Amino acid sequence: MTPRSSITSLRGGAIGAIGAADLDEKTTLAQETAIRWFGRTLSLRSPLDAPVPERPGRPDKPVLIPPTLVERRSLHTVKGRIALLHAIAHIELNAVDLALDIVARFATEPVPNSFFDGWMQVAFEEAKHFRMVRARLKDLGADYGDLPAHDGLWQAAHSTRNDLTARLAVVPLILEARGLDVTPSLQAKMRETGDFESAAVLDVIYNDEKGHVAIGAKWFRFLCVRERRDPARTFHELVRANFRGPLKPPFNDIARAEAGLTPSFYRSLTSTSNA
C-alpha cells in the first residue's frame, strides 16, 4: 500500500504518519496528508481511522538516553557541528509527530477547520526542516541516528494528551518558543566557524518557527476566550501543572512578541521570579 492510498482522512493520515517508523515514509505521509487536506480532498475523520499511537514510530537508532547524558561539544569542530545538527534533527522529528498528534488526538474537539489548517502547516514545515537538517548531516558525512538522543520532548507533551489547552501551552508556547530564544546565537556561531550552509538551514527553521508559535498563541487565546479565562493566568496555571522546572532566560522578547507571546505569559515563570 502506498502512503497516499493509506490516507483515509485527515486524522487517519496523521495517525499513519505518527506510527511510521521509516522516517522517509513519516515525512512523506505528513506532507501528503497536509497537501490533500489543504486541497479539501480529505474528510476530517473516518470510521476507518486507526487508534492514535501512544508513542510515535521510530527506527532502531538513535539510542535514547537521559537528557543529562547527552554530550555537549564545541561548534568549532566538525564533530561538534554534527552533534548540534543531530540534536536539531531529533527536535524537528519530534515536532513533526507533536503537530500530527495535536491533529489526530484532538480531531473531535469543537474547533474550526482552520485549527487543523494551522497544525498541518506546522507538520508540513517540520517535516521539511527534518529533511533539510538530515541532508546537511549527510553533507558532513553523518546521518540521523549516528548519535544518541533523549526523549524529553515527547515526555513533556505526554501529560497534556487529554487537554488541548494544556497541550498548546506546553508544546508551541514553551517548547517551540524556546527555539526562538536559542536559534539566533546558534546561527551566529555557525557563521563564525564558516559553516554558512548549516546557518542557512537554521535561518529557514527560525523564520518558520515564528509562525508555529503564532499558531499556538492564536489557538490558545481562542480557547481561553471561549472558556472566559484570562490567557496569561491560564498559561501560568497550566505550565505549573504540566511542565517540570522553570522557564529559562534569556528570552527573545521581540520574536516572541511577533508571534503573539508577550512577557506577561512567561516572565513570572522563570527560576529568578518570586511569583
Residue 217 lies in a domain: yes
146-174: b (≥16 Cβ within 10 Å) or e: ebbbbbbbbebbeebeeebbbbbbbbbbb
Are the C-beta atoms of residues 187 and 203 closer than 8 Å to each other?
yes
Residue 161 lies in a domain: yes
- pLDDT attached to residue 274: 36
- pLDDT attached to residue 271: 59
Mean pLDDT of all residues in 34-40: 97
User: Taking the CA of residue 58 as centre, how many other CA atoms within 13 Å lie in the half-sphere pointing to its CB?
Assistant: 19
Picking from 19, 201, 9, the residue whose alpha carbon sits closest to that of residue 120 is: 9
Residue 163 lies in a domain: yes
What is the pLDDT confidence band of residue 229, given thresholds at 50, 70 and 90?
A: very high
For all residues of the chain together, what is the average pLDDT?
A: 91
What is the pLDDT confidence band of residue 272, given thresholds at 50, 70 and 90?
A: very low
| pLDDT surpasses 70 at 3 | no
Mean pLDDT of all residues in 23-47: 97
Residue 259 lies in a domain: yes
DSSP, res 60: S
Residue 100 lies in a domain: yes
Are the C-beta atoms of residues 152 and 171 closer than 8 Å to each other?
no
pTM: 0.93
- pLDDT attached to residue 171: 93
Query: Which is it for the CA torsion 232, 117, 124, 3, positive or negative?
Result: positive
Residue 59 CB coordination number (10 Å): 11
What is the pLDDT confidence band of residue 152, given thresholds at 50, 70 and 90?
A: confident
Lowest mean pLDDT among 156-165, 172-181, 251-260: 156-165
- pLDDT attached to residue 204: 97
CATH number at residue 69: 1.20.1260.10
Mean pLDDT of all residues in 134-149: 96
Enter the C-alpha cell of residue 199. Answer: 546557518
| pLDDT surpasses 60 at 275 | no
Residue 12 lies in a domain: no
- pLDDT attached to residue 159: 83
Rounded Cα gap, residues 125 and 108, in angstroms: 24
Residues 6 or more apart in contact with residue 147 via CB below 8 angstroms = 62, 82, 83, 86
| pLDDT surpasses 80 at 169 | yes
| pLDDT surpasses 90 at 267 | no
Residue 122 lies in a domain: yes
Are the C-beta atoms of residues 92 and 86 closer than 8 Å to each other?
no
| pLDDT surpasses 80 at 273 | no
Residue 54 lies in a domain: no
Rounded Cα gap, residues 134 and 137, in angstroms: 5
- pLDDT attached to residue 13: 97
Query: Which carries the bigger pLDDT value, residue 68 or residue 59?
Result: 59
State which residues form the domain around 252: 63-265
Count the domains in the chain: 1
Mean pLDDT of all residues in 132-149: 97
Rounded Cα gap, residues 185 and 93, in angstroms: 22
Mean pLDDT of all residues in 198-216: 97
